[in-house]
Chains A and B, each alone.
Chain A
Amino acid sequence: MGKPGKIFVWIMACILFVAGSAAAAETVIVKGSTTVLPIAQAAAEAFIKKNPQINISLSGGGSGDGVKALIDKTADIANSSREMKKEEIALAKSRGVKPVEHRVAIDAIVPVVHPSNPVQDLTLEQLSLVYQGKISNWKELGGADKRITVISRDTSSGTYEAWSQKVLHNAKVTPRAQLQASNGAIVQTVSRNRYAVGYIGIGYLNPSVKPLKVNGVEASPRTALSGKFPVARPLYMFTDEKPKKAAADFIRFILSPEGRKIIEKTGFVPLK
C-alpha cells in the first residue's frame, strides 16, 4: 500500500468515527408554525437537560412548511397552528407517511392596538367590519378621528386562517390591509403605530401593545380554555404513525404535567 492509500484509510477511519458518534446522539427535527415555536423551544430546553443523549433541531417557517417537511421526511415533528388539509393528508399517504395529530395547547388570538389608543373593547362584528375595510376610522369605534391601519398576517399563515374563520367568517380581508410575516413583526409594527390594529397569539403579548377585549371578554388562559374568549384555537404537533423513539418521547414530555407547566409559562394554555 502506497502513501496515498494509507491516507485514504485514515480518512475513512475518521469518517466512520464521526458518523458513529453522530448516530449515538439521536436527533429529532422539529419544524413548522411560528406560533408553536416558543412552546417547542421551551420544552426542548427542558427535555434536552433530562436527556442529554438526544439532540433537538428546531426551526420555524410556518405551518405549511412543517407539514411539507413531515411529508418529505425531512422532519420528525411538524408544528402546526391548523389541522392538516385534505390535500396534504393525501400527499402524505402517497409518500408513505401517515400523519398522527397531537393536540398540545390552546392559543387565544388577541386583537392588539397601540397603548395610547383609547379603545378598550370591540365586538366580533366590529372587528370583522374593520378587517373587511367597512369601518375605516377610529371615530366609529369611539377613538380619535384617524384612519385605521389594518394589519393582518400573510394569507397562508395558520393564525390568519383561524382569525379569518372565527372573526371574519371567511369574508375577505380588505386588500388595503398591511400584511406581516410573523407574530413578532405584528407586535413590532403595532407598537410603533398609534393608529394600527393587529392580531397575535396570546404568547406574544407584551407591554409594548395593548390587548383589546372581544365581546367584553378579556383574553386569558382561563377564558380561552372555557371557550368564553371567542377567538381561540388548538395547536398541534404532527408525527408519522411510527415516530422515532426520541420524537415520541418528546411529545409525551410535552403532554406530561411538567410539559404542561412549561406551556403555561410560555403564555399558552395547556390542555387538561
Chain B
Amino acid sequence: MTRSFREKLIRKAFFGFAAVSIIFLLLIILFLFREALPTFQFVSIGRFIFGMEWYPTYEPPEFGIWPLIVGSLVVTSFSTLIAVPLGVLSAIYISEIAPPAVKEILKPAIELLAGLPSVVLGFFGMVVLAPWLQDTFDLPTGLNIVNASIMLAVMAIPTISSISEDALYSVPREFKEASYALGATRHETIVKVIVPAALSGISTAVILGMARAIGETMVVLMVAGGAAAVPESIFDSVRPMPASIAAEMGEAPFRSNHYHALFATGVVLLVLTLAFNFIADYVSHKFRETGSATL
C-alpha cells in the first residue's frame, strides 16, 4: 500500500462518513413526499391547507388542516413572546453583568434545562400547571394555548439563551474598550454597542428557538388540549400539527387516505421548519456587521 493510495483511501472513507447523514436526510425526505403525495388525489392542496374541518375518519372524511396550522402558529408565537425576553436578557446578564461566581452556576443551570426530557415538561404542564390555571382563572380547561406556550417557552429558553450568549461573547473586546474610553457607562455600552453588534446572532437564536417550538411534539400532545378548531381566545384548546400526527398515526390504517393525509401534514410542518431555518440564515447574513465585528 503506497502512501498516496492510503491518503486517497482515507479521504474517500471520510467523504463516505460525511455523505451518510446527507443520504439519510434525502431518503427521509423522499419517503415523506412519496407517502404524502397520494393525499392530493382525494383532496386539493387548497382544501387541504385552508379547509376548516379535520374529520379524517368520518364518512365522508374531511381533510382540512387549517385549524392545526393555526394551532401550531399560535402556540409558537406565544411561546416566543415569553421565551425571547427571558432567553436574551438572561444571556446578556450571564455574558456582560454577572460576577464569575454567579455565571458559573447560572450557565450550566440553563444548559441543564435543555436536557429536561419533553415528556417530563409535558407531565408537569398536565399535572401542575393545568389545574392551577383552571382554578386561578376559573376556566373550563387548563389544557390550552397558555399552558402549551409556557411549556414550549421553557424548552426554547436554553436554545435562545446559549446561542445569544455565544453571539454576545464574540463581540470584539475593542468595541467595549472604545465605548468605555468615550465615557459611556456599562448600561450604555450594553444597549448601544454590544447588543447591536450581536444582533444577527441573537436573531438567529430567536428563530432557531421558534423552530424548536414548532416541531416539538410531546409537550403539545400532552398540554395543548387537542381541539381541532381555530381558537377564539388564548384559553381555548388547540391541536398543533405534531400532536395530531403523533396521536393519530398509531391507529390510521396503513396506506389509507388518513395515513397519507398525516404524512402531508408532516410535509407542511417540514416546510414551515425549513422556512424558519432559511429566515435565520438570511437574517444572520443581512444584519452581519462588517469589519472586526463580523460574527
Q: Do A and B come from one complex?
A: yes
Q: Which residues of A contact B (CB under 8 A)?
A: 61-65, 67-68, 71, 85, 87-88, 91, 146-149, 154-158, 160-161, 170, 172, 174-181, 188-189, 192-196
Query: Given A61-B250, A68-B254, A154-B251, A179 and B227 touching (CB < 8 A)?
Result: yes
The answer on a CB contact under 8 Å between B228 and A85 is no
The answer on a CB contact under 8 Å between B227 and A176 is yes
Q: Does B124 contact A (CB under 8 A)?
A: no
Q: Does B134 contact A (CB under 8 A)?
A: yes
In this complex, what residue of B is CB-closest to A60?
A: B250
Query: Given A146-B140, A176-B229, A155 and B237 touching (CB < 8 A)?
Result: no
In this complex, what residue of B is CB-closest to A174?
A: B229
The answer on a CB contact under 8 Å between B254 and A71 is yes
On chain A, the residues within 8 Å of B140 by CB distance are 146-149, 195
The answer on a CB contact under 8 Å between A155 and B57 is yes
On chain A, the residues within 8 Å of B141 by CB distance are 149, 178, 193, 195-196
On chain B, the residues within 8 Å of A194 by CB distance are 134
* Count: A-B pairs, CB below 8 Å: 96
The answer on a CB contact under 8 Å between A181 and B247 is yes
Nearest first, the 4 closest Cβ-Cβ pairs linking A and B are A156-B251, A62-B251, A64-B251, A179-B226
The answer on a CB contact under 8 Å between A157 and B228 is no
Q: How far is the CB of A131 from chain B (nearest CB, A)?
A: 13
Q: Does B221 contact A (CB under 8 A)?
A: yes
- State A179–B127 Cα separation when bound (angstroms): 17
Stretch at the interface among B48-56, B182-190, B198-206: B48-56
In this complex, what residue of B is CB-closest to A71?
A: B254
Q: How far is the CB of B225 from chain A (nearest CB, A)?
A: 4
The answer on a CB contact under 8 Å between A87 and B256 is yes
- State A131–B251 Cα separation when bound (angstroms): 21
In this complex, what residue of B is CB-closest to A67?
A: B253
Q: How far is the CB of B86 from chain A (nearest CB, A)?
A: 27
Question: Most chain-A CB neighbours within 10 Å: which of B54, B131, B228?
Answer: B228
- State A172–B141 Cα separation when bound (angstroms): 22
Complex partner residue of B251 from A63, A147, A176, A180, CB under 8 angstroms? A63
Pairs across A and B, CB under 8 Å, 5 listed = A65-B251, A161-B57, A176-B236, A176-B237, A179-B228
Q: Does B239 contact A (CB under 8 A)?
A: yes
- State A157–B58 Cα separation when bound (angstroms): 12
Q: Does B111 contact A (CB under 8 A)?
A: no
Complex partner residue of A91 from B58, B229, B254, CB under 8 angstroms? B254
On chain A, the residues within 8 Å of B131 by CB distance are 192-193
The answer on a CB contact under 8 Å between A64 and B130 is no
Interface 1/0s, chain B 232-265, versus A by CB < 8 A?
A: 0000110100000011101111111010000000
On chain B, the residues within 8 Å of A195 by CB distance are 140-141
On chain A, the residues within 8 Å of B126 by CB distance are 188-189, 192
The answer on a CB contact under 8 Å between B59 and A170 is yes
Q: How far is the CB of B218 from chain A (nearest CB, A)?
A: 11
On chain A, the residues within 8 Å of B143 by CB distance are 178, 189
Q: How far is the CB of B144 from chain A (nearest CB, A)?
A: 9
- State A196–B130 Cα separation when bound (angstroms): 13
Query: Given A148-B140, A149-B140, A192-B130, A87 and B251 touching (CB < 8 A)?
Result: no
Query: Given A155-B56, A179-B227, A181-B221, A64 and B253 touching (CB < 8 A)?
Result: yes
On chain B, the residues within 8 Å of A189 by CB distance are 126, 143
Q: How far is the CB of B191 from chain A (nearest CB, A)?
A: 44
The answer on a CB contact under 8 Å between B226 and A178 is yes
Q: How far is the CB of A175 from chain B (nearest CB, A)?
A: 4
On chain A, the residues within 8 Å of B252 by CB distance are 64, 156
Query: Given A172-B55, A176-B229, A64 and B250 touching (CB < 8 A)?
Result: yes
The answer on a CB contact under 8 Å between B67 and A157 is no
The answer on a CB contact under 8 Å between B251 and A88 is no
Q: Does B142 contact A (CB under 8 A)?
A: yes
Q: How far is the CB of A69 from chain B (nearest CB, A)?
A: 10
The answer on a CB contact under 8 Å between B251 and A85 is no
In this complex, what residue of B is CB-closest to A82?
A: B251
In this complex, what residue of B is CB-closest to A157?
A: B251
On chain B, the residues within 8 Å of A177 by CB distance are 227
- State A20–B250 Cα separation when bound (angstroms): 34
On chain A, the residues within 8 Å of B59 by CB distance are 170
Q: How far is the CB of B205 from chain A (nearest CB, A)?
A: 33
Q: How far is the CB of B54 from chain A (nearest CB, A)?
A: 7
